[in-house]
Structure 1
Amino acid sequence: MKYTPWFIRGIVILLIIIVALTSCNKEENEAKITIGEVTRSVFYAPEYVAAAQGFFAEEGLEVDIQTTAGGDKTMAALLAGSVDIALVGAETSIYVYQQGAEDPVINFAQLTQTDGTFLFARNAQENFDWEQLKQSVFLGQRKGGMPQMAGEFVLNKHGIDPSRDLELIQNVDFANIASAFASGTGDYVQLFEPQASIFEQEGRGKVVASFGTESGHLPYTVFMTKQSYLNENKDLVQKFTNALHKAQLWVDSHTAEEIAEVIKPFFKDIDPAILTSSVSRYKEQGTYATDPIIDEQEWNNLLDVMSAAGELKQKVELNTIVDLTFAEQATP
C-alpha cells in the first residue's frame, strides 16, 4: 500500500474543512428574498436605497425586486407564493383577513406614512380651489384601492361627493391610468411621482394639491408577508427589517439630490432633474417613514379612510394583522 505523508493527509483534511465552511457561508450569504412591489415609483425610494447602498447585502440578503402592477395583482402573487414579501397598501391585508384567510397576511414594516398621489389638473386655474372639481371628469383609481379611498376621503373633506359631484371614471387599469390621461381622458387625475413631474415637464398640466398632505399619516405602503412565511423565516424577516431601517435613516439624513443619485439605476429612463424634484416633493411632505413601526394612530386613520369608502366590514385591531416585533427590534 502506498504511504501518504502525514502533512499531505493534513492538507487534504484542511481543504475538506475549508470547502465545507465555504459552502455553509455561501448558503448563508445567498439567503434570497423576492419582493413584489405594487408599482415602480420614487414613492418607494428607501426600498431602492436599501438595495443600492448595500444594506440588504450587509444583512446577508439577496433581494430580488419585482414590479407587479396593482394591489390586487401584488396580493395575488404573495398568496400564490411567487413572491415572499409584498410592498403594497395595508388595506390589502385587511381584505384578506376579512375573507377569513387561514394563512393571514401580516404587516411587519412600514415604508411610507402618507398617500403618495398628487392631484393633477389638465387646465389648472391660477388660484386652485377644490370647488373647481365639481362637474369635472375625474380619472380615478381602482375601487377599494388605497389611492382611490384616500382620494375620496380628501374630496369628502372638502365637501365634494365623488358619486354625485364628479364624473368619476374607474374602469382604467392601474398601469394604464397615466397613458389614459395623456391621451385626453379626464380633467383631473391622481398621479404618483415621477409621473406627475414628467407630465408637468411635457406641458400636460400641473400639480395643484397633494393627497398625502390632505389625508394625514397612515400606513399607506407596508411590507407584508403570509403568517406561515413569517413563522418559518423570522431571522430573514428581521434582517430585512434591519436593512430597511438603515435605508430609512439614510434617506432622512440625505438631500433629495443625493437620494436621486443613489436610486437612479432603478429609473434609467427618467431625467435626473425630474428624479430629484420627485424625491424632494415626497421629502418635503414627510412621506417617507423614518422607522418601520406602524403606530395605532396611523392604523386607526387607515380604518377611518376605509370605513368612509364603505370597504371596512368590521374594525380590525392593530395587533390582529400587524406584528411590531421586527420593527421594534430594528429600532432599539
Structure 2
Amino acid sequence: MSGPITLYENFRALFYTPFYLTFEIGAFEAEGVSVVMGESDTPGEGAKASLERDDAISWGGPMRVLHFHDKDPTSDLVCFCEVVGGDPFHIIGNKPNPAFKLTDLLDVRFGNFIEAVTPWLCLQEDLRREGINPADLSRFDGNTVPENMEAFKAGKLDAVQVLEPYAEMLLREGGHLWFEASARGPCAYTSYYARRQILDDRSDELQAMTNAMAKTLVWVHSHSAIELAEVVSPYFPDFDIDLMTPALERYKQGGIWNTTPMLNVQGIERLRAGLLSGGLISREIPYDEIADMRFVK
C-alpha cells in the first residue's frame, strides 16, 4: 500500500489560507486521502522534492513550473489544481492617494518585495503596459519586508509592496492603500504541482486532493473572514485574529481565491507576460505544456 502524500508548503503566508484550511476542516480525510504537510525552509524546496520523490507534491507559483520548462522543455512538472488566481500584493503609500495611478510611482521612493520574484515581475509588467520603464523608478530592491516596513515608518521610503497582514499593520499605523494588484484580473499565483508521472501513478489520491480543494474553496467563499481567521490562527501564532480578519476580508473582496481548481488560461498568460518582460523566461511556454487539469470536474 502507498504511504501518505507529502504536500510541501512553499512558505508561510496568509494568502495561502485555503491550503491550511484543507487540513483544518478535514477536507482530505473526507475524501479518503492521507496527506501530511511538509515544511520548506525556503521557497522552491517543495518543487525540488516534487521532482525527486514519488510521494511528494508542492504548492507554489506556476512561475516556478514555467521557469523549469523554460530551462528544460522536457520537464514533466505540471500544475494540476489552482487555488490562488489573483495577485495578493498591495502597494501601501505614505499619504492619501485615492486616484492612484501607476505613474505616481515615478515620483516616490519605492521598496518592492524581494523574498520571491513573482510580485515584482508582475508589477513591472503592469508598469510597462502603462508606458513606464521600470528602470525609471526610484526603487529600493535590497530590503526584506520587515526592513521595508521600518524604512517606510521612518520616512525613508514613500511606498512599499507588501502582502497581508503586513499591509494591514501599515494601514493601522497611518499608511494608505494605493494599489491592490488583484485589480489587474486573473494572474496565476498558486497551484498544486507535481510530475506527470505522479499524476499517473497516484491518480486516485491526487483526484481526491483536488476534490478536497474544490470543496475547501466552496467553504472559503461561504464563510466570513473572521471564521477563516479563527480556523487558520494556529498557523500564525504571531498574528491576532483581530489583525488577520480585515486582511482576509481584503483578500476575499479582491477575489484572489479561485471558485474552482481550474487553472485559468488568462491568468497563465498574464503571469507569463511578466516573466517574459522581466527576463525570467525566454519563450512563450504553452498552457498545455505546464498544466494538466484532468482532475478538475
Q: Say whether the fold is shared (TM-score over 0.5).
A: yes
Other-structure match for 2:254: 285
Alignment of 1:174-185 (within 5 A): 177-184=144-151
Q: Any idea what SS the aligned residue of 2:88 has?
A: coil
Other-structure match for 1:169: 140
Q: How far is 1:40 from its partner?
A: 1.6
Q: Which amino acid letter does the alignment assign opposite residue 95 of structure 2?
A: A
Q: Any idea what SS the aligned residue of 1:163 has?
A: helix
Q: Within the alignment, does 1:271 sit opposite 2:240 as a pair?
A: yes
CA distance in 2 between partners of 1:70 and 1:198 (Å): 24
Matched positions, count: 292
Q: Within the alignment, does 1:326 sit opposite 2:278 as a pair?
A: no
Q: CA distance change for structure 1 residues 315 and 197 in 2, over 3 Å: closer, same or farther?
A: same
Unaligned segments of structure 1, at least 5 residues: 1-26
Other-structure match for 1:311: 280
Q: How far is 1:67 from its partner?
A: 4.3
Q: CA distance change for structure 1 residues 95 and 153 in 2, over 3 Å: closer, same or farther?
A: same
Q: Within the alignment, does 1:195 sit opposite 2:166 as a pair?
A: yes
Unaligned segments of structure 2, at least 5 residues: none
Other-structure match for 2:100: 129
Other-structure match for 2:84: 112
Q: Which of the pair has more CA radius of gyration?
A: 1
Q: CA distance change for structure 1 residues 101 and 143 in 2, over 3 Å: closer, same or farther?
A: farther
CA distance in 2 between partners of 1:228 and 1:74 (Å): 17
Q: Which amino acid letter does the alignment assign opposite residue 178 of structure 2?
A: V
Q: CA distance change for structure 1 residues 309 and 285 in 2, over 3 Å: closer, same or farther?
A: same
Query: Residue 94 of structure 1: which of 49, 61, 66 is its match?
Result: 66
CA distance in 2 between partners of 1:168 and 1:74 (Å): 30
Identity of aligned residues (%): 24
Other-structure match for 1:6: none
Other-structure match for 2:111: 139
Greater length-normalized contact order (CA 8 Å, ≥ 6 residues apart): 2
CA distance in 2 between partners of 1:69 and 1:200 (Å): 29
Q: CA distance change for structure 1 residues 52 and 134 in 2, over 3 Å: closer, same or farther?
A: same
Q: For structure 1, which segment, 280-289 or 102-111, has the greater mean C-alpha deviation from structure 2 after superposition?
A: 102-111
Q: Which amino acid letter does the alignment assign opposite residue 212 of structure 1?
A: S
Other-structure match for 1:223: 192
Q: How far is 1:71 from its partner?
A: 4.1
CA distance in 2 between partners of 1:49 and 1:72 (Å): 22
Alignment of 1:211-250 (within 5 A): 211-213=181-183, 215-250=184-219
CA distance in 1 between partners of 2:170 and 2:53 (Å): 36
Q: Deviation string for 1:231-286 (max 9, x for gaps)?
A: 32111111111111110011111221222222222222211122111111111111
Verify the 8 A CA contact 1:50 1:244 in the aligned structure 2: yes
Aligned residues: CA RMSD: 2.5
TM-score, normalised with respect to structure 2: 0.88
Verify the 8 A CA contact 1:103 1:227 in the aligned structure 2: no
Q: For structure 1, which segment, 123-132 or 270-279, has the greater mean C-alpha deviation from structure 2 after superposition?
A: 123-132
Q: Deviation string for 1:157-203 (max 9, x for gaps)?
A: 34432212x1223344xxxx2111133164322211112112323x1
